[in-house]
């Protein structure tokens, strides 16, 4: 069987995952307009390639927060990888390490941060975090990932409440009894039982606000990246509050249906930030030319969510490597065909602006 593009892996995963698991990952909020628009918005953008630029030697390397990676493609935090492959996040981490790419591990991982670190000790890892009502619980997780060599914290800010995902409600989706959110073992002792996602109920704090960025700053020296920014106003606040990066994200269209596609939000954010902090993007990346468009519009790196789960479903670590390698190869080809020899040559001039 030969899978040659991300859509082939998607078809495989749809065919092979249990229906409720497939639907959990595929879900968007409400009518899924934003989930679908994340992909369609890339298809509305047209490129202005340059010719005769000697693209015989190509270099896709870049850096994120000072660390070199082989390509501006990273793994976004997604939950419950053991639903897709027995050793779940450990396979994901090994694939990222093998290709020298960045892996952002989810708090809702089904392997612990210790297991993930042991599986890929040399890999570049960031940790995705929520702020809990009991700040000490967030702090405990921070201490663990600091000790394990994670290089940054990625604070998710678009989930004061979980979006309404119709298929999860219809399926009564829940983690099967043999799987656990391993990071929570021993952490939530005394809290009331798990919700459908295996997380103790009523622990996330919906009152979180910008002042909590100051709290986070006060408890860690790790760089802070905020995930879930969609406007220039919030991007400016992120700069003012002194974080090191933002991920332009709408949580894969799983939170507020009808909000902007991430690639449509990127331009105004990159313009206001003006390189003062790093700007990244997730949502809707399916081809190398999608990566090219995002980098051209100001992203330093893009992140993949659902495709990583499709890769895991196909063949664990090998499948995730397959996804990452295909996208890296497609990005290199798109760069060459547009006359860019390295990532710093990918810029806004590549983007066609329609005249009204």
Q: Which residues are catalytic?
A: 251
Please, which residue, 9 or 130, has the CB nearer to ligand PYR?
A: 130
Query: Tokens for 70?
Result: 């082989």
| Total residues at interface with ligand PYR (CB under 6 A) | 5
In 3D space, the residue among 47, 50, 97, 104 whose CA is nearest the CA of residue 81 turns out to be: 104
Here's the x/- map for ligand PYR, 169-198, by CB under 6 A: it reads as: ----------------------------x-
Check binding of 109 to ligand PYR (CB under 6 A). no
Question: CB-wise, 65 or 83, nearer to ligand PYR?
Answer: 83
SS3 sequence of 227-265: EEECCHHHHHHHHHCCCCEEEECCHHHCCCCCCCCHHHH
Name the residue whose CB lies closest to ligand PYR.
79
What's the rounded Cα separation, in Å, for the pair 149 and 140? 15
Least distance to ligand PYR from the beta carbon of 82, Å? 14
Shortest Å, Cβ 130 to ligand PYR: 9
* Annotated binding residue 227: yes
Both tokens assigned to 65 = 């927060």
* Residue 77, annotated as binding a ligand: yes
- Among 108, 126, 132, 184, indicate the residue that binds ligand PYR (CB under 6 A): 108
Residues 78, 306 contacting (CB under 8 angstroms): yes
Should residue 254 be labelled a site residue for ligand PYR when binding is judged by CB under 6 A?
A: yes
Tokens (6 digits) for 84: 């897709």
321 binds ligand PYR (CB under 6 A): no
β-pair type (73-75, 301-304): parallel
What is the CB neighbour count within 10 angstroms for residue 282? Answer: 28
The Cα 355–Cα 259 span in angstroms is 25
Per CB under 6 A, contacts with ligand PYR among 84-103 are: none
- Binding of residue 79 to ligand PYR (CB under 6 A): yes
Q: Annotated binding residue at 166?
A: no
CA 276 to chain centre: 21
Which residues are at the interface with ligand PYR (CB under 6 A)? 79, 108, 197, 251, 254
């Amino acid at each position: 069987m030969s899978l040659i593009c991300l859509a082939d892996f998607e078809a495989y995963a749809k065919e092979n995952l249990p229906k409720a698991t497939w639907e959990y990952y595929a879900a968007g909020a409400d009518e899924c307009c934003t989930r679908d628009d994340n992909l369609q918005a890339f298809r509305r953008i047209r490129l202005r390639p340059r010719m005769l630029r000697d693209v015989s030697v190509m270099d896709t390397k870049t850096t994120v927060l000072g660390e070199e990676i082989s390509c501006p493609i990273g793994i976004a935090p997604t939950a419950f990888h053991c639903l897709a492959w027995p050793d779940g996040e450990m396979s994901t981490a090994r694939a990222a390490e093998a290709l020298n790419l960045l892996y952002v591990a989810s708090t809702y991982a089904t392997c612990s941060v210790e297991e993930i670190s042991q599986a890929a000790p040399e890999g570049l890892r960031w940790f995705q975090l929520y702020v809990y009502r009991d700040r000490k619980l967030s702090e405990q997780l921070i201490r663990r990932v600091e000790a394990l060599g994670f290089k940054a914290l990625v604070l998710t800010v678009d989930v004061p409440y979980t979006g309404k995902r119709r298929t999860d409600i219809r399926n009564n989706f829940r983690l099967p009894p043999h799987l656990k959110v391993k990071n929570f073992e021993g952490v939530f002792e005394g809290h009331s039982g798990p919700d459908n996602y295996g997380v103790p109920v009523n622990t996330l704090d919906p009152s979180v606000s910008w002042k909590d960025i100051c709290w986070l700053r006060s408890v860690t020296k790790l760089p802070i990246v905020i995930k879930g920014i969609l406007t220039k106003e919030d991007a400016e606040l992120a700069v003012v509050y002194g974080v090191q990066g933002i991920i332009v994200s709408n949580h894969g269209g799983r939170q507020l249906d009808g909000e902007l596609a991430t690639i449509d939000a990127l331009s105004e954010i990159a313009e206001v930030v003006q390189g003062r902090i790093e700007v990244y993007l997730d949502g809707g990346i399916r081809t190398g030319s999608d990566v090219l468009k995002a980098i051209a519009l100001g992203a330093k790196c893009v992140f993949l969510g659902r495709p990583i789960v499709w890769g895991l479903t196909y063949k664990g670590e090998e499948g995730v490597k397959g996804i990452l390698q295909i996208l890296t190869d497609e990005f290199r080809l798109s760069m060459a065909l547009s006359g860019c020899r390295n990532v710093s040559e990918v810029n806004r001039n590549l983007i066609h602006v329609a005249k009204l």
